[in-house]
């Protein structure tokens, strides 16, 4: 008997969300209904400048908090996301 593995679905990738930044985004959202710009700048600096957080972790964190971003702030969100992706 042969087993056909061609129809198996791939496992979802592990999302390495930075918990410090996730909790801070949730706090901003609860208080103001949106994430403040300093949160984005801090995350971007920790990824690109200080290298304290990997680019993958930064992207995963951004995607996890996307639900807390107001429509008017999506342009800035996307800009920071691109900066993190580019490194």
- Is 77 contained in some domain? yes
Residue 13 lies in a domain: no
* DSSP tag of 11: P
What's the rounded Cα separation, in Å, for the pair 45 and 28?
19
How many domains are contained in the chain? 1
Whether 67 and 27 have beta carbons less than 8 Å apart is answered as: no
Q: Do residues 73 and 35 make contact, with C-beta atoms less than 8 angstroms apart? A: yes
Residue 74 lies inside a defined structural domain of this protein: yes
Residue 67 counted as domain residue: yes
**57 found inside a domain:** yes
Is residue 36 domain-resident? yes
| Torsions phi, psi for 4 (to 5 deg) | -95, 110
6 within a domain of the structure (yes/no):
no
Residue 36's domain spans which residues?
Answer: 19-86
| pLDDT tens by residue, the chain, 87 residues | 554 545 554 444 546 899 999 999 999 999 999 999 999 999 999 999 999 999 999 999 999 999 999 999 999 999 999 999 998
Give the span between the Cα atoms of 65 and 17, in whole angstroms. 9
Q: What global pTM score does this model have?
A: 0.81
Residue 3 lies in a domain: no
């Amino acid at each position: 008997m042969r087993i056909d593995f061609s129809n198996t679905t791939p496992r979802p990738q592990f999302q390495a969300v930075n918990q410090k930044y996730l909790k801070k985004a949730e706090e901003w959202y609860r208080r103001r209904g949106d994430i403040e710009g300093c949160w984005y700048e801090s995350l971007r600096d920790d990824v690109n400048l200080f290298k304290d957080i990997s680019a993958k972790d930064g992207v995963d964190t951004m995607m996890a908090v996307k639900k807390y971003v107001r429509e008017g702030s999506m342009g800035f969100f996307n800009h920071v996301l691109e900066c993190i992706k580019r490194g």
